[in-house]
Amino acid sequence: MPLSGTIYERWRQSAEDTCHFRDQLLSCMTPKRLRILWLGQPLKKEPLTTLSGKSLRILNPGYGAPNRGPLLRRATMILNGKVQSNAEVLIDPEGFNWQAQRHDLDPAYAGVKLVVTWRGQKPDFESPEYVRMDQYWSDSLDAWRDENLILFQHMDIHDLPKTCHAPLRNLKDEALVELVRQGAVSRLWRIARAMETQMNEVDEETVLWNHLFRSMGYRLNQWPMHHLSKYVSRLREGLSQNSRTPVSALQRLQARLLGCGGFLNLASETLPCSSQSYYGKISKAWEKDMASMVDIQLPEAVWNNQGIRPANHPQRRLATLAHWLLTPAIDKTFIQWFETMDHPLEGQRSLLETLGKKQDPFWGRHWTLHGRRLEKPKALLGHVRINEIVLQTLFPWLLAHFSIRKDVARQQKVVRFFFLWPPSEDHTFLESTRRQLFGSDRYQWIQSSADQLGLLQIMHDFCGWSDGNCNQCLFRECAQMVYLQQGWILPGKNQGCASE
């Protein structure tokens, strides 16, 4: 199972060397590259300092918006001790566009509180605060990129290359699966290695909690979840099951998580009758703990609730995490789950029972604190989200865990179950990726979640860093080598293009 020996991995590394990932970032910082790095926040230290000498702490780096160019909206930060919510951030590598493009006179830029620059200087005239980022980036940018593959997975669709040579378009399904699964296992190992690096600095359970919290934030709320994951030990203090019933311990944990998330500043009379009793209990519990946790507390504005389903609301996600936090050693629980699993379908069912079907009198029948009581109880976590947690967090974490112990047999079991794990629900980005690579929405060959992730990995490793004409893209050569090894031959380079 040597990853470096696969054809895909050798060509991926060649493509990475061709693109000179780190050198390009550091020597030619474009707005798009700076935007990706800013959203990923691979920082050496925190808090930051603006060019005018003010302290700066980023709670949420912001979100991209269609037709807003270098602007990021709804960022949340603490600037010189004051919380700035719903702020806009301007990405400007050189630092001179504020005056050169007269943004100071444009009402569309009136909400800009911070200009993120690479090596620019703060102008003499009146402007927002500037932060120069070249001194703050982590030295291990490659490890950061592997850890944050999910960030690159969700690049805006309109940023994808507009043409593609589509080497996969006319190939047999068995050859296609061979190559795509090499991409999938490359993804799995790279995330595992990034976790293994973290395990050299902190204990394995801490790494697991960090990734579990982030996975519960999904795309839009990863950063607030990441913030709260840093304080798991403090959140669990004084919750001994011996001195309290599980219900009271659960409610106190939910009070701490919801309070630290900024969700307990409500007037109880504005809530539905079915929520008032529960809210009264957790708000009183939060009053006792608030003074000791004021440094953890986030403003409610840091969360992005636009366009998310009620079941994915951060209030419900935090309430679910409280159930998991009651597990004394969750890392050992997952290891035991893996050891006793004989088949992925069995593992999927047992994990749904462990993570999703917790008994919760309130959250089993409510999406949010403001929501009306549901007629039928709902699982705290559905199979779609559990699938993502398994693929993006548990399997990589288990692989890192067994890699540290040099347990090759169990590493092979992780990879085998990864390949057999049932496919997740289809989504827009997957469909767009298939059309980009095949010129049509070809999906009948997909048998597992690994096949889906392998496609996304191809887009990340090759297409995501190429230009619109696929210049310098080595994916075709990679595919050619795999298929020659299997006895297949690709069509000519100018045949089967998606643009034809």
- Residue 145 is classified by DSSP as H
Per the listing, tokens 């469909």 go with 431
Of the candidates 82, 384, 58, the residue with the CA atom closest to the CA atom of residue 223: 58
Query: Contact 261/303 with Cβ under 8 angstroms?
Result: yes
CA dist., res. 443 & res. 435, Å (int): 10
Q: CA angle at residue 467 from 463 to 472, to 5 degrees?
A: 75
In a domain, 125, yes or no: yes
Instruction: Answer yes or no: are the C-beta atoms of 120 and 145 closer than 8 Å.
Output: no
Q: Domain residues for 120?
A: 43-136
Which residues neighbour 404 within 8 Å (Cβ) at sequence distance 6 or greater?
196, 199
Task: Note whether 3 and 186 are within 8 A (CB).
Answer: yes
Phi, psi of 103 (to 5 degrees): -65, -25
Q: Hey, is 83 helix, strand or coil?
A: strand
Asked if residues 61 and 304 have their Cβ atoms less than 8 Å apart, the reply is no
Residue 71 in any domain: the answer is: yes
The C-alpha torsion from 109 through 74 and 226 to 356, rounded to 10°, is -150
pTM: 0.79
Q: Identify whether 100 is part of a domain.
A: yes
Let me know if residue 191 belongs to a domain.
no
Q: Is the dihedral of CA 199, 205, 210, 215 positive or negative?
A: positive
With b for 16 or more beta-carbon neighbours within 10 A and e for fewer, the 340-375 pattern comes to ebeebeebbeebbebbbebebebbbbbbbbebeeee
Q: Burial letters for 156-172: b for 16+ Cβ neighbours within 10 Å, e otherwise?
A: eeeebbeebbbbbbebe
What's residue 313's pLDDT?
94
State the SS3 of 22-77.
HHHHHHCCCHHHHHHHHHHCCECCCCEECCCCCEEEEEECCEECCCCCCEEEEEEE
Per the structure, how many domains does the chain have? 1
Tens digit of pLDDT at every position of the chain (500 positions): 445 456 677 666 665 555 545 555 555 677 877 887 787 766 656 788 898 889 998 888 888 765 556 888 888 898 988 888 889 999 888 877 777 777 778 888 888 999 998 877 777 667 889 998 877 765 555 555 555 544 444 344 334 443 444 456 666 777 778 888 888 998 899 899 989 999 998 999 999 999 999 999 877 898 899 999 999 999 998 876 544 444 488 999 999 999 999 999 888 888 999 999 999 999 999 999 999 999 899 998 899 888 788 888 999 999 999 999 988 889 999 999 999 888 888 888 888 877 877 788 999 999 999 999 999 999 898 888 888 899 989 999 999 999 999 999 999 999 999 998 988 877 777 777 777 777 666 677 788 888 888 888 887 777 766 655 666 667 766 766 665 665 555 444 444 333 33
CA atoms of 358 and 361, how far apart (whole Å): 10
Give the pLDDT confidence score for residue 406 in this predicted structure: 94
Distance from chain centroid for Cα 280: 33
CA distance 228 to 214: 9
| Beta bridge pairs of residue 112 | 88
Q: Determine the pLDDT at residue 165.
A: 47
What single string gives the DSSP state of each residue in 194-263?
A: HHHHHHTTS-HHHHHHHHHHHHHHTTTTHHHHHHHHTTHHHHTTT--TTTS-HHHHHHHHHHHHHHHTT-
Classify residue 101: in a domain, yes or no. Answer: yes
The terminus-to-terminus CA distance of the chain in angstroms comes to 39
**So what's the pLDDT on residue 122?**
72
Q: Is residue 97 part of a domain?
A: yes
Q: Would residue 266 count as lying in a domain?
A: no
What backbone torsions phi and psi does residue 69 show, to the nearest 5 degrees?
Answer: 55, -125
Distance of CA 103 to the CA centre of its chain: 32
Q: Which pLDDT value is given to residue 442?
A: 66
> In angstroms, rounded to a whole number, what is the distance separating the alpha carbons of residues 336 and 272?
41
Which pLDDT value is given to residue 235?
94
Q: Is the peptide bond before 328 cis (omega within 30 degrees of 0)?
A: no
Residue 99 lies in a domain: yes
* CA dihedral of 421, 423, 424, 425, whole degrees rounded to 10: -160
Using a 10 angstrom Cβ sphere, with 0-12 exposed, 13-18 middle and 19 or more buried, the burial of residue 45 is exposed
pLDDT number for residue 314:
94
CA distance 499 to 190: 32
**Residue 27: what pLDDT?**
58
Contacts of 182 (CB under 8 A, 6+ apart): 6, 7, 8, 9, 454, 482
Task: Using DSSP bridges, classify how beta strands 82-91 and 129-132 pair: parallel, antiparallel or unpaired.
Answer: unpaired
Q: What is the pLDDT of residue 159?
A: 43
What is the pLDDT at residue 422? 87
